[in-house]
A and B are shown apart, each in its own frame.
Chain A
Amino acid sequence: MEAADKKTGQPMPGPENQEPNTSVPEPASPWKVAFRRLRKNKLAMIGLGIILFFIAIALAAPLLTSQGYETMNGSDRLQGPSGAYWFGTDDLGRDIFARIVYGARISLFVGFFAVTGALVFGSILGIVAGYYGRWVDMIISRFFDIMLAFPSILLAIAIVAILGPSLQNALIAIAIINIPIFGRLVRSKVISIREEEYIMAAKAQGMKSGRILIHHVLPNSTAPIIVQATLGFGTAILEAAALGFLGLGAQPPTPEWGRMLSDSRQYIQSAPWTVLFPGISIMLVVLGFNMIGDGLRDALDPKLKQ
């Protein structure tokens, strides 16, 4: 390396060597930059607060409640909110507050596993379709199209009808109906990244296609996937509630919010609190995920905002 020694002491002078150095003192990865932007977004922070709040009450459920969500107090049926029952009681005399708190566990559990399942399978299919193209893409994309042609809740009902109504099957059904949503997103992102010049550069360096896929295509495709996963969390919870409402999800006495709505809907006039609190809970969780999802989208891709 004689040439190196010759040049070591004399880096090229010029304005380009100084200018950005002063403005950016330490290395900032694109993730850190995005996180800083997210911190400044008030709505996203409120959303994050709501989610963290529900996670906290789900974790601390036994500490927050004086009685179990199954305990029936025969003499206290359809009582309004009071000091003893903060959110009132339902038609079987169960404490609605306890059911809401334990229900948070169910909803977050369903949201997490349904999104994870859809994300994993959708991403694999999307990457394969996007990177290999041609007939592989044809088959996978048509499969997605067929699934998307059904109204999603109808497809979920059909899947649960085949598997039998239970919380676990509802979760599987929600994961399946969300596969094409993630799959198409990943596919389109992979297709656009594949044409980037740094991918051609990676090929020119002599990298194998597997390495290009994992080290170059995937890291640049994650931003929209993270956003979709966050938004999908809310949707999955909503879908679980819908299936629960239809009696196809969690079975009694599981305190699932959708199921609670359905079981109490005949008392909406006489005892509105029985539907009000599960309804508000569903709304808040979904709202929280949507707010943080929107914030993430703006933070990860600031070009989209304007």
Chain B
Amino acid sequence: MTKTEPLLRVTNLKKYFPIKGGVFGRRVGDVKAVNDVSFEVYDKEVLGIVGESGCGKSTTGKALLRLIEPTEGSVYFQGEDITAKSPEEMRKMRRDMQIIFQDPYASLNPRHTVEKILGEPLLVHGVGSKAERRKKVEEILEIVGLPKEHASRYPHQFSGGQRQRIGIARALIVRPKLIVCDEPVSALDVSIQSQILNLMEDLQEDFGLTYIFIAHDLSVVKHISHRIGVMYLGKMVELSSNEDLYSEPLHPYTQSLLSAVPEPDPDMQKDRIVLEGDVPSPSDPPDGCAFHNRCPSCMEICKTVIPEFREVRKDHFTACHLYNEEQPVN
């Protein structure tokens, strides 16, 4: 991986959902789903984003494609700020940035045939004639491992894994540079998960794709990612290469997360870090570090000062006061 200009640079991305209340539907608060997240994704890289349910990882993925309009922050794609684009400019840019959804049952229009589902992205971007589009649909079906005869079928005639292949084909058919994969395998059976993962891995290599791979399953993310970001309560708490994160997790949240990964050997004794309490409400996050009330190594400073997200080792970022003393390496 070469460190050149990143393909995607997200700076201080925030998404607050208003909570309406009272008689007149006033804004009484915000759910801070994504609260000041910054990261970069390089060309042909797979960036994994992990975190528990409700930590804002899916919202991050959708907000950086402007499928959910971000509250604040900028998203630079190939050096251009897409948050400043007009709807029509944005519409055209979508050809380069696609998404694969989590639920293959909800993300395919039940009234369209596979041919229409896959041909429509080409149509709206003005690619080819009807016959050329048909040919491209058949090609892409074979690439994702479905017989081309299935083009005339409807989504309800496919299994979950097959539907997800169609979802992948739909994202891939316009030849995008970046694909946001929003938990693409978590709705599938374990036996099919690995097939889909392998397919996605092959496609990434064959087409030189860049993935933002969102998941809650650490083993899935470890399998596919080059770098991994860990999110907690709307914030990115740690970001490093795959190897570094698993061998030397810095943030206490990442440490406890990794210790919770089940081991296949029942006799193996493991020091698990079991967290106390629940994730606080994202509408009312704790002062200081969002993790301080559950952190096993909480200090006084953690309760008042929000830790800065900084590079404490080479290419290893974390937001934790435990590493305040360490000098940033350059």
Contacts and interface: CB of A to CB of B under 8 A. Distances in A.
Interface of A: 1, 3-4, 6-8, 11-12, 14-17, 19-20, 24, 27-30, 196-198, 200-208, 211, 215-216, 219-220
A304 B206 CA distance: 46
Contact of A206 (B94, B106, B160): B94
A175 B58 CA distance: 46
Contacts of A198: 106-110
B159 A19 contact: yes
B322 interface: no
Candidate in B111, B121, B142 with the most chain A CB atoms within 10 angstroms: B111
Interface residues of B, number: 55
A20 B107 CA distance: 19
A238 to B, nearest CB: 33
Nearest to B151: A27
Contacts of A203: 67
Given A207-B124, A219-B111, A11 B142 contact: yes
A15 B189 CA distance: 11
Given A197-B106, A200-B67, A206-B91, A27 B113 contact: yes
B125 A16 contact: no
A27 B152 contact: yes
A30 B154 contact: yes
Given A7-B142, A8-B142, A12-B145, A30 B111 contact: yes
B46 to A, nearest CB: 17
Nearest to A8: B142
Contacts of B154: 27-30
A81 B192 CA distance: 73
Interface string B133-158: 00000011011111100001110111
B27 interface: no
Interface string B94-114: 110011010100111111110
B162 A17 contact: yes
Nearest to B194: A14
Given A14-B195, A16-B162, A27-B153, A201 B206 contact: no
A208 to B, nearest CB: 7
A167 B159 CA distance: 55
Contacts of B92: 206
A30 B156 contact: yes
A3 B145 contact: no
Nearest to B139: A4
A28 B153 CA distance: 7
Contacts of A27: 113, 152-154, 157
Contacts of A16: 159-162, 192, 195
Contacts of A6: 206
Given A197-B101, A198-B107, A206 B65 contact: no
Given A16-B192, A30-B156, A201 B110 contact: no
Contacts of A12: 144-145, 165, 195, 198-199
Given A4-B139, A12-B145, A17-B162, A205 B124 contact: yes
Contacts of B217: none
Contacts of A7: 142-143, 145, 202, 206
Contacts of A204: 65, 67, 94, 98-99
Given A14-B191, A204-B65, A211-B124, 19 more contacts: A3-B203, A7-B145, A7-B206, A11-B146, A14-B161, A15-B191, A15-B192, A17-B145, A17-B146, A20-B157, A20-B158, A20-B159, A27-B153, A29-B113, A198-B108, A198-B109, A200-B67, A205-B98, A206-B92
